[in-house]
Amino acid sequence: MLQFSPNSTIALVGSSDGLPRGSDAVPRLCAFLESLGLRTVVFPSLYQTAAGTPQPAERRAADIQVAFASPEVDAVFDLTGGDGANVVLPHLDLRKIAHTPKPFFGYSGRTMTCFAFAVPFYRAASSPEKSAAATSAAR
């Protein structure tokens, strides 16, 4: 069972359509997580642009890369839904992500992102047992 320790840091990112600016959902989630003793860091790509459109795919991918690369971040929560995540995949450096695996949580359009993150773990494994262990660790 996955457990976070007090002061674990959760990165809140958006790989897909983005949340509307001014929504109270993210501050409420941050307050809840912080009430559990966790820290949060909100990445700008979580929100839509001022024009109400998703952030550019390159920006969303860059935020995800930073979240995975940061030694201060213990897990990554993708809070956005929709098929916009598919255009982010070509901009992710999956090899770098594979070297800094962290729990990644999301829903809806995250299925393809989760599959993409699992691929490097399968490639890095030299046996079915190690492959299963790496995939389990990636969840």
Q: Note the pLDDT tens digit of each residue in 105-132.
A: 877 655 556 556 554 443 333 334 443 4
Quote the pLDDT of residue 124: 36
Q: How far apart are CA 67 and CA 69, in angstroms?
A: 6
DSSP state string for 4-65: PPTT-EEEEE-SSS-BPTT-SHHHHHHHHHHHTT-EEEE-GGGBPPTTSSPPPHHHHHHHHH
Report pLDDT digits (tens) over 41-55: 999 999 999 998 889
Q: Residue 73 pLDDT > 60, yes or no?
A: yes
Asked if residues 19 and 47 have their Cβ atoms less than 8 Å apart, the reply is yes
The mean of the pLDDT values for the chain is 80
- Report the pLDDT averaged over residues 73-88: 86
Nearest to 77 by CA among 38, 48, 51: 38
The pTM of the full predicted model, rounded to 2 decimals, is: 0.78
